[in-house]
């Protein structure tokens, strides 16, 4: 059983909605995503489905090359996972992706987060709740609180995760592309 790496991507896109979230969290990063590769080709989360409309949200496969992320600041954390765990993560995400229209953003859950009362709703997640749920359901991390009370910055505290990068997301992606070219 080989160990592989999974990645938690924390970002600050600088949008009005994320600045509003920052008012409550008082932390530098306000969005969390999961990736299966260090080049961030496969990145999953719950967030806006349209760049122009932050209130139309749900399950998203994020494009790190998009304008929304191009100016983002980020922190990237890696964690070890087994083949079995990566399979469980992918199955969980694929089941959501297959029925993506049944899922939406848990705006009410954000209010529960603010008052520290978990609000879990069927087929509804906010970004860090989704990431925590995937990691918990795949037996990767055990959280001391409900996934609906997990903030993006809580992932920084996981003792088994390792920070691999912090800075401008676009710079990281350019570096990753250049590294791929050098290796090839």
Question: How many other CB atoms sit within 10 Å of the CB of residue 175?
Answer: 12
Report residue 127 as tokens. 């970004």
More confident residue, 19 or 9: 9
pLDDT of residue 19: 82
In the predicted structure, residue 1 carries a pLDDT above the cut 60: no
Number of domains in the chain: 1
Q: From 118, 172, 135, 119, select the one nearest 32 (Cα to Cα).
A: 135
pLDDT band at 183 (very low <50, low <70, confident <90, very high): low
Q: What's the CA gap between 168 and 134, in Å, rounded?
A: 26
Looking up residue 68, the CATH number of its domain turns out to be 3.90.1720.10
CA angle in degrees (0–180, nearest 5) for 80-143-100: 80
In the predicted structure, residue 173 carries a pLDDT above the cut 60: yes
CA dihedral 135, 140, 142, 145 (to 10 degrees): -10
Residue range 91-110: average pLDDT? 95
Residue range 15-42: average pLDDT? 88
Burial class from Cβ neighbours inside 10 Å (0-12, 13-18, 19+) for residue 28 reads middle
pLDDT of residue 93: 97
Q: What is the mean pLDDT of the chain?
A: 89
User: For residue 74, what are the β-bridge partners?
Assistant: 11, 167
Report residue 129 as tokens. 């709740």
Domain that holds residue 87: 3-183
pLDDT of residue 159: 67
């Amino acid at each position: 059983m080989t160990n592989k790496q999974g990645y938690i991507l924390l970002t600050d896109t600088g949008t009005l909605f994320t600045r509003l979230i920052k008012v409550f969290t008082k932390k530098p990063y306000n969005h969390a995503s999961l990736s299966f590769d260090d080049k961030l080709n496969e990145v999953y989360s719950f967030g806006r489905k349209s760049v122009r409309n932050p209130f139309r949200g749900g399950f998203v496969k994020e494009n790190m090359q998009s304008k929304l992320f191009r100016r983002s600041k980020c922190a990237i954390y890696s964690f070890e996972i087994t083949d079995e765990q990566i399979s469980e993560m992918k199955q969980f995400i694929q089941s959501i992706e297959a029925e993506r229209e049944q899922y939406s953003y848990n705006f009410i859950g954000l209010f529960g987060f603010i008052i520290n009362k978990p609000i879990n709703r069927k087929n509804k997640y906010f970004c860090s709740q989704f990431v925590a749920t995937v990691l918990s359901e795949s037996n990767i991390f055990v959280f001391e609180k409900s996934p609906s009370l997990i903030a993006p910055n809580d992932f920084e505290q996981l003792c088994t995760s390792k920070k691999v990068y912090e800075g401008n997301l676009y710079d990281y992606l350019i570096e990753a592309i250049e590294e791929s070219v050098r290796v090839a």
